[in-house]
Amino acid sequence: MLTLWLITDNKPGHRSQLQGLAQALAARTAVEAHWIDAPAGRSALWQWVRGRFPLGAGLPDPDLILVAGHRTHLAGLAARRARGGRLIALMRPSLPLGCFDLCVIPQHDNPPARANVVATRGVLNTARPSAEREADKGLFLIGGPSKHHGWDTPGLLAQIDAILTATPAMRWTLTTSRRTPADTESALLALRERGVDVRPVRNTPPGWAMEQVARSAQAWVTEDSVSMVYESLTAGAATGLLGVPRLGETRITAGVAQLQREGFVTTFSDWRRDGALHTPPTRLAEADRVAEAVLSRWPR
């Protein structure tokens, strides 16, 4: 039995990464997983200094301690010092890489070549292909402005209109994100008159979007929503990018551009020119790859 401690700050994206690796490990060996909320403030630092981790009281000693998010790093160090186990950081940590037994870092963060670093395409997630994938089912995943991207509601609506017009046989579902501006969401709700099943994110339960992308043959994602792009590719859907304004060239936009060059995603402009949304050359399975790397390093 492999005992996991998953230390979380409860941010949805970070929790999804932890869960994705835990699920991939569980598919390969018997796992006992324990979720622990990261302590707030400086308490984790004092716990590390004193060699104590009271949040783990009553739990079996961990074989692996998984952390994701800056607030979890000191807690992970405290847990390892108090109870042992291997400490694995998902995403580039805020502390020196040598503090961790393994760091799982996306390629767009330019990870160094080190023995304790595994580079991944994007961050890990829980997406999996579904046996219930439907050839006539499509999905729009709409994000919002970010520090890397601006926003253009009329331009977005024009792209969606062109896709709907070109695919009359497809059954489309659309969902938003917490970053979607209110005026954009109002305009998107009007697509219900064209038969689109519009589900604002506030009206969907946890995990709903992941279930939809796993069952969809096609997924169009606004390019600001990098996590959703990688989730779509991990689910095995043919993935298109809805263009939004870029605020310069950044590591995030460079990572998406690399996906485009390698044929994993189709931009709207390429789709309009070629008339085809291309299937990725391979399905991304980064959580599975990392799980295998972990188990080969520390076999049971």
188 in Cβ contact with 142 (< 8 Å) = yes
Whether 243 has a pLDDT exceeding 90, the answer reads yes
Lowest mean pLDDT across 41-55, 222-236, 256-270 = 41-55
22 falls within a domain: yes
Q: What is the CATH number of the domain that holds 167?
A: 3.40.50.2000
33-80 confidence digits (pLDDT tens):
999 999 877 888 889 889 999 999 999 999 999 999 999 999 999 999
User: Do 170 and 53 belong together in one domain?
Assistant: no
**How does the average pLDDT of the chain come out, rounded?**
94
Q: What is the DSSP letter of 265?
A: E
User: Do 261 and 150 belong together in one domain?
Assistant: yes
177 falls within a domain: yes
User: Do 49 and 144 belong together in one domain?
Assistant: no
163 CB-contact burial (10 Å; exposed 0-12 / middle 13-18 / buried 19+): buried
Report the domain count for the chain: 2
Whether 18 has a pLDDT exceeding 80, the answer reads yes
User: Do 105 and 50 belong together in one domain?
Assistant: yes
187 falls within a domain: yes
User: Do 141 and 103 belong together in one domain?
Assistant: no
3-state secondary structure of 31: strand
User: Do 36 and 83 belong together in one domain?
Assistant: yes
User: Do 154 and 107 belong together in one domain?
Assistant: no
Whether 194 has a pLDDT exceeding 80, the answer reads yes
Question: Residue 143: pLDDT band by 50, 70, 90 thresholds?
Answer: very high
Overall residue count recorded for the chain in this entry: 300
Whether 158 has a pLDDT exceeding 80, the answer reads yes
Give the rounded percent of residues in the chain with a pLDDT score beyond 90: 80
d(CA 225, CA 242): 10
Question: Residue 108: pLDDT band by 50, 70, 90 thresholds?
Answer: confident
User: Do 89 and 11 belong together in one domain?
Assistant: yes
User: Do 138 and 270 belong together in one domain?
Assistant: yes
280 falls within a domain: no
Q: Where are the beta strands (DSSP E) in the chain?
A: 2-8, 31-37, 64-68, 86-90, 102-106, 117-120, 134-141, 171-175, 197-199, 216-222, 238-242, 265-267
User: Do 55 and 119 belong together in one domain?
Assistant: yes
104 falls within a domain: yes
d(CA 244, CA 89): 31
206 falls within a domain: yes
223 falls within a domain: yes
The amino acid at residue 156 is L
User: Do 242 and 293 belong together in one domain?
Assistant: no
281 falls within a domain: no
In this prediction, residues 122-148 reach a mean pLDDT of: 91
User: Do 231 and 150 belong together in one domain?
Assistant: yes
Domain that holds residue 115: 2-124+287-297
Question: Residue 291: pLDDT band by 50, 70, 90 thresholds?
Answer: very high
